[in-house]
Amino acid sequence: MLAARGPSPVRNQALAALLRCPSCRTRIALSDDRAVCKGAKHTFPVIRGIPVFLDDETVGGDPQYVHQRRYFDAEFADYDIYRLENWRRSYLDRLGTGGLLDTEAPVLDVGVGGSGYTVIEAARTGSLAVGCDLSLQALVAARRFAESEGVAERTFWVCCSAERLPLASASFGSALAVAVIEHVPDDHAALAEIARVLEPGGRCWVTVPHGLRNIPLVFRLPNRRHDRRLGHLRRYEAESLVHDGGQAGLAAVDVQFTGHPVKAVQLGATTIPGEPLGDRFWWWCERRDLRRSTTRRGSMQLSVLFERAA
């Protein structure tokens, strides 16, 4: 258990002011060790500068949440260096092209993970950014990286579930949910929450695993194993994800299919002697994959860019 110690979470008053109680939706007052709703009916701990909105009412003993918190806490416990690998740089390029990282209203990443790279790089552009995750270990690492990268004053970190975001409605200019909603018990609730916190016209990027029927036979068994190991509850087709987003008030702007078989070849880039050659080969594969982003067949990953209805 992480001890409730560390610097005050209130590094940016504008971002802290966006907190809302997930139970009664009233404003939250923060201190070094507590987050208390306006009516003083609900109190949540602040651990190492991170308000933690997970309790019996929000997640309870749901076995999926128990598994996910244990798995990802273990994964992120050893994160000690901030590093932008090529795949992260590629994602940043795609998100930037979609207008998601440089917005006047704050940027939100739901399921930000231990690197915190989307929040950190959005903050580096001058945007305010909030990172949410179920894993407290992930957020402790991400917050530490924000400090070391000199952007802590423009970032904020919140431990919560995707289905009950403790954030004010219509407050964010963009939102990201990369490899998230396939993990949560109620993905419809997660999409509805993302739509709720977006301002009218705000954009959302959702990336999920693509339906197995689209994936070449040779890759289906490894993908099934990957699903079990990471705790994926479902896979998606473009039509169903677009429909679910529409039900939540999100209109699809673009659909992209990535993770074609060339990505398997790309994994060999790190084994090529000489880093520059390996780097060039990695990006050659990446460009080839992205050029096929309108091709459904063979794709292992699906991304949809949504826009919140005005």
- Judge whether 289 and 258 are in contact, CB under 8 Å: yes
| pTM as predicted | 0.92
pLDDT in tens, the chain (310 residues): 454 444 444 557 889 999 999 989 999 999 889 999 988 789 999 999 999 998 766 676 788 998 899 999 999 998 999 999 999 999 999 999 999 998 999 999 999 999 999 999 999 999 999 999 999 999 999 999 999 999 999 999 999 999 999 999 999 999 999 999 999 999 999 999 999 999 999 999 999 999 999 999 999 999 999 999 999 999 999 999 999 999 999 999 999 999 999 998 887 666 555 556 678 889 999 999 999 999 999 999 999 999 998 7
Could you tell me the domains of the chain? Answer: 49-260+295-308 (3.40.50.150)
